[in-house]
Amino acid sequence: MIIGNVGQAPELRYTPSGKAVCSFSVATSHRYTDSTGERKEETTWFNISAWERLAETVNQYVTKGMQIYVEGRLALRTYTTKDGKPGASLDIHASNIEFLGRPKGQGQTEAEGDPPF
Protein backbone atom coordinates (compact mmCIF):
# COMPACT_ATOMS: atom_id res chain seq x y z
CA MET A 1 0.00 0.00 0.00
CA ILE A 2 1.34 3.42 -0.94
CA ILE A 3 0.05 6.98 -1.13
CA GLY A 4 1.81 9.23 -3.59
CA ASN A 5 1.58 11.59 -6.54
CA VAL A 6 1.26 10.48 -10.14
CA GLY A 7 4.44 11.32 -12.04
CA GLN A 8 3.23 10.84 -15.61
CA ALA A 9 -0.06 10.55 -17.43
CA PRO A 10 -1.30 6.93 -17.54
CA GLU A 11 -0.72 4.98 -20.75
CA LEU A 12 -3.49 2.55 -21.75
CA ARG A 13 -2.79 -0.31 -24.12
CA TYR A 14 -4.25 -3.73 -24.87
CA THR A 15 -2.62 -7.16 -24.86
CA PRO A 16 -2.94 -9.35 -27.99
CA SER A 17 -5.78 -11.18 -26.20
CA GLY A 18 -7.65 -7.88 -25.69
CA LYS A 19 -7.02 -7.24 -21.98
CA ALA A 20 -6.59 -3.60 -21.01
CA VAL A 21 -3.43 -2.64 -19.10
CA CYS A 22 -2.62 0.85 -17.87
CA SER A 23 0.88 1.90 -16.75
CA PHE A 24 2.06 5.00 -14.90
CA SER A 25 4.47 6.05 -12.15
CA VAL A 26 3.87 7.26 -8.60
CA ALA A 27 6.31 9.10 -6.32
CA THR A 28 6.27 8.86 -2.54
CA SER A 29 8.29 11.22 -0.35
CA HIS A 30 9.76 10.91 3.12
CA ARG A 31 10.86 14.07 4.95
CA TYR A 32 13.13 13.98 7.97
CA THR A 33 15.82 15.87 9.87
CA ASP A 34 19.27 14.25 9.95
CA SER A 35 21.64 14.17 12.93
CA THR A 36 23.14 17.55 11.95
CA GLY A 37 19.71 19.22 11.98
CA GLU A 38 19.51 19.49 8.19
CA ARG A 39 16.09 18.82 6.64
CA LYS A 40 16.12 16.08 4.01
CA GLU A 41 13.63 14.59 1.62
CA GLU A 42 13.83 11.20 -0.08
CA THR A 43 11.61 10.29 -3.02
CA THR A 44 10.90 6.73 -4.14
CA TRP A 45 9.34 6.03 -7.54
CA PHE A 46 7.05 3.09 -8.22
CA ASN A 47 5.89 1.79 -11.62
CA ILE A 48 2.19 0.93 -11.39
CA SER A 49 0.23 -1.41 -13.66
CA ALA A 50 -3.53 -1.81 -13.51
CA TRP A 51 -5.47 -4.38 -15.50
CA GLU A 52 -8.86 -4.75 -17.19
CA ARG A 53 -11.69 -2.56 -15.75
CA LEU A 54 -9.34 -0.90 -13.22
CA ALA A 55 -7.00 0.02 -16.11
CA GLU A 56 -9.81 1.70 -18.04
CA THR A 57 -10.99 3.63 -14.95
CA VAL A 58 -7.45 4.81 -14.19
CA ASN A 59 -6.95 5.93 -17.78
CA GLN A 60 -10.19 7.94 -17.64
CA TYR A 61 -9.66 9.74 -14.31
CA VAL A 62 -5.98 9.79 -13.27
CA THR A 63 -3.84 12.78 -14.25
CA LYS A 64 -0.25 13.79 -13.65
CA GLY A 65 0.23 15.29 -10.17
CA MET A 66 -2.91 13.69 -8.71
CA GLN A 67 -2.57 12.11 -5.26
CA ILE A 68 -3.68 8.47 -5.18
CA TYR A 69 -3.71 5.43 -2.91
CA VAL A 70 -2.46 2.20 -4.52
CA GLU A 71 -2.87 -1.28 -3.11
CA GLY A 72 -1.36 -4.31 -4.77
CA ARG A 73 1.46 -6.80 -5.13
CA LEU A 74 5.00 -5.43 -4.96
CA ALA A 75 7.58 -6.78 -7.42
CA LEU A 76 11.27 -5.93 -7.75
CA ARG A 77 12.35 -5.93 -11.41
CA THR A 78 16.04 -6.02 -12.27
CA TYR A 79 17.46 -5.05 -15.64
CA THR A 80 20.64 -3.99 -17.42
CA THR A 81 20.93 -0.41 -18.66
CA LYS A 82 22.10 0.52 -22.17
CA ASP A 83 25.61 1.10 -20.85
CA GLY A 84 25.71 -2.37 -19.23
CA LYS A 85 25.10 -1.35 -15.62
CA PRO A 86 22.60 -3.22 -13.43
CA GLY A 87 19.37 -1.41 -12.53
CA ALA A 88 16.23 -2.13 -10.54
CA SER A 89 12.70 -0.78 -10.27
CA LEU A 90 9.84 -1.27 -7.84
CA ASP A 91 6.66 -2.31 -9.63
CA ILE A 92 3.19 -2.58 -8.13
CA HIS A 93 0.57 -4.74 -9.81
CA ALA A 94 -2.47 -2.84 -8.55
CA SER A 95 -5.53 -4.55 -7.14
CA ASN A 96 -7.15 -1.32 -5.85
CA ILE A 97 -6.62 2.37 -6.59
CA GLU A 98 -8.39 5.23 -4.84
CA PHE A 99 -8.32 8.84 -6.00
CA LEU A 100 -7.43 11.21 -3.16
CA GLY A 101 -7.31 14.51 -5.02
CA ARG A 102 -6.57 16.32 -8.25
CA PRO A 103 -3.46 18.43 -8.63
CA LYS A 104 -4.02 22.03 -7.61
CA GLY A 105 -4.17 24.70 -10.29
CA GLN A 106 -6.31 22.86 -12.82
CA GLY A 107 -9.04 25.50 -12.69
CA GLN A 108 -11.21 23.66 -10.19
CA THR A 109 -11.64 23.30 -6.46
CA GLU A 110 -10.67 20.01 -4.88
CA ALA A 111 -14.29 18.82 -4.76
CA GLU A 112 -15.09 19.66 -8.39
CA GLY A 113 -14.39 17.11 -11.07
CA ASP A 114 -13.63 14.24 -8.73
CA PRO A 115 -14.42 10.75 -10.06
CA PRO A 116 -18.00 9.61 -9.40
CA PHE A 117 -17.13 7.02 -6.71
pTM for the whole structure: 0.76
pLDDT digits (tens, 9 = 90+) for 26-35: 999 999 999 8
Q: Which long-range contacts (CB under 8 A, 24 or more apart) does 22-27 make?
A: 22/49, 22/50, 22/51, 22/54, 22/55, 22/56, 22/58, 22/59, 23/47, 23/48, 23/49, 24/48, 24/58, 24/62, 26/2, 26/68, 26/70, 26/92
Domains and CATH numbers, the chain: 2-101 (2.40.50.140)
Chain segment 60-80, per-residue pLDDT in tens: 999 999 999 999 999 998 999
pLDDT above 60: residue 112? no
